[in-house]
Amino acid sequence: MNRLLLLLSGTILSATLLAVPLQAQEGAQPATGGESTQAGEPVETQPANAPDQQPAFAGQTRAPQPAAMPEIKTEVVAEGLPHLWAMEFLPDGRMLVTAKEGAMHIVSANGEAGPAIEGVPEVLSGGQGGLLDVALAPDFETSSMIFFSFSEERDDGNGTSVASAKLTADDKGGGTLENVQVIFRQMPSYDGNKHFGSRLVFGPNNELYVTVGERSDPEPRVQAQDLKSGLGKIFRIDATGKALEDNPFVGQDNALPEIWSLGHRNLQSATLDGEGRLWTVEHGPRGGDELNRPEPGKNYGWPEVTYGVEYSGDAVGQGITQQAETEQPVYYWDPVIAPSGMAYYDGDAIPEWKGAFLVGGLVAQGVVVIHMDGDKVKYEERVPLDARIRDVKVGPDGAVYAVTESRGGNSTIVKLTKAD
């Protein structure tokens, strides 16, 4: 029986976004909007925002659900937290979290948040800005170094910046950031409050990938195609913020050497796969969220080539979805899931998810499970959690941890494990 149950705080809940009675869900999985679809059919049943657009290849959108899906139980491990944006596991199993308004906390194994960590720089927390992602240095166990991204107020506007610091924990559950240094600034600055990105991912050779946004508005977003601009790009830098010598545009006139790839909209999901390759999911327009495997020097189209439409319903630019000079997304969603947070599952606690990507859905209000066949999507599965999901991580115990958010409210950390 392919029935997905949520066992939350000891109570069995129907796994639909609209609380459809449990008996209506037997033999089916929930789809966006509270409808049910059989295993083997796409989970998404809502009409597309751009119904005339056609995928470039089979399986690029609305992949089927797998025939066998695990029953998932959920457990709240921490609640009443400030509005969180990101979470990272420390080596001892505690969680380091960032709060959008500009605070960091360490959450203990029993779900208690310690006092705010001292030394966090001031952040611009209006609109979509704030204290964003956090990543441990690859040598954190010996160096105690962390890296974090945030929206920074500047004399000529604002933008996404990346800082490094040494985290010194104290015996009260808090700590201090020492030797805080801003190592990288997305330029140019812009006086806006949208599309800051951003995720930080260390690669297998200690390179740091930094994803950002293109600032949303019509005037700046076209710079996603401009190699002189840092808007709408993925960067690849070292721990001091310098470009890597083998980056694709090093030595090229009128190009920023830190750029890895271009033509991105707003990247809030990124992770490495089992081979150490970078994968991302970016916010598209209405009906254009994209899964990509960004490669060096390649152009991913925005805003000239994209699936979906403007929020107004108008075409984006000329309405082009394919062009020889730009890369096709591995997969896209129409309607959108509104992606934030991403993890590659290589654990054993939920064997059905082995080798899958887990993506947080702000609009989908749950975890989106993307099963791969090589570099193509084979199946898509969803675990509704009735909450906006801001980040997803795999814990040291192999369980999946999802960070929820409510607009202007508190956050919860939920643990997902296999029910049996």
Instruction: Identify any residues that bridge with 389 across adjacent strands, giving them in sequence order.
Output: 404
How close are the terminal C-alpha atoms of the chain, in Å?
13
Q: Which of 83, 105, 195, 264 is catalytic?
A: 195
* DSSP codes of every residue in 90-120: -TTS-EEEEETTTEEEEE-TTS-B-SPPBTP
Instruction: Identify any residues that bridge with 270 across adjacent strands, giving them in sequence order.
Output: 280
Distance between CA atoms of 233 and 198, rounded to whole angstroms? 10
- Tokens at residue 343, please? 């993890």
Distance between CA atoms of 316 and 308, rounded to whole angstroms? 8
283 part of the active site: no
- Tokens at residue 106, please? 């360490």
- Tokens at residue 306, please? 């994209």
- Tokens at residue 135, please? 């990543």
Class of residue 345 by CB neighbours under 10 A (exposed 0-12, middle 13-18, buried 19+):
buried
- Tokens at residue 140, please? 């954190």
- Tokens at residue 101, please? 């308004």
Distance between CA atoms of 227 and 372, rounded to whole angstroms? 32
Asked if 144 and 167 count as a contact pair (C-beta separation under 8 A), the reply is: yes
Catalytic residues: 195
